[in-house]
């Protein structure tokens, strides 16, 4: 059986766990001058910033856990999220999703062999 096909289109975002969202917003927004982006209501604190032309930085409030206990992640925009899920399943890779974000984009979370978290996402809304 041939594995389903999909392609990685680009790096979509990098997410970092932060202990103090306000201090991080000041650093990335005021000190580094990154433009703020609207962020869906995930039910936990955070902030989004534009990195260059299309990439983003997502800050995630630590939600009562030690920063780094679940490392930040990077997200890859893919051409077909269902094909990506099928391919991960066929390879025996554990993952969460696909599930929708509050803004309608769909996402999968998996880990590489060292436990680094990778998000695969699709159907991103226009910002």
Choose among 8, 24, 15, 29: nearest CA to 84.
8
Res 69 pLDDT > 50:
no
Max CA-CA distance within the chain? 52
Q: What is the pLDDT of residue 70?
A: 47
Could you tell me if residue 72 is inside a domain? Answer: yes
Range of the domain at 44: 8-122
Residue 71 confidence (pLDDT) above 70: no
Q: Where are the alpha helices (DSSP H) in the chain?
A: 21-25, 81-90
Domain membership flag for residue 1: no
Within a domain: residue 2? no
Give me the residue label for tokens 């260059």: 52
pLDDT at 20: 87
Mean pLDDT of 29-48: 90
**What's the CATH code of the domain at 55?**
3.10.180.10
Radius of gyration of the chain (CA): 15
Give how many domains the chain has, as a whole number. Answer: 1
Structural domain includes residue 3:
no
């Amino acid at each position: 059986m041939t594995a389903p096909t999909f392609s990685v289109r680009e790096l979509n975002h990098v997410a970092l766990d932060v202990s103090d969202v306000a201090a991080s917003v000041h650093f990335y927004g005021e000190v580094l001058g990154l433009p703020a982006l609207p962020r869906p209501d995930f039910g936990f604190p955070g902030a989004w910033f534009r990195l260059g032309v299309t990439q983003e930085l997502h800050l995630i409030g630590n939600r009562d856990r030690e920063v780094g206990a679940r490392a930040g992640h990077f997200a890859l925009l893919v051409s077909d999220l269902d094909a990506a899920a099928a391919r991960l399943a066929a390879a025996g890779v554990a993952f969460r999703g696909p599930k929708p974000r509050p803004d309608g984009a769909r996402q999968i979370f998996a880990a590489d062999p060292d436990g680094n978290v990778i998000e695969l996402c699709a159907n991103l809304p226009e910002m």
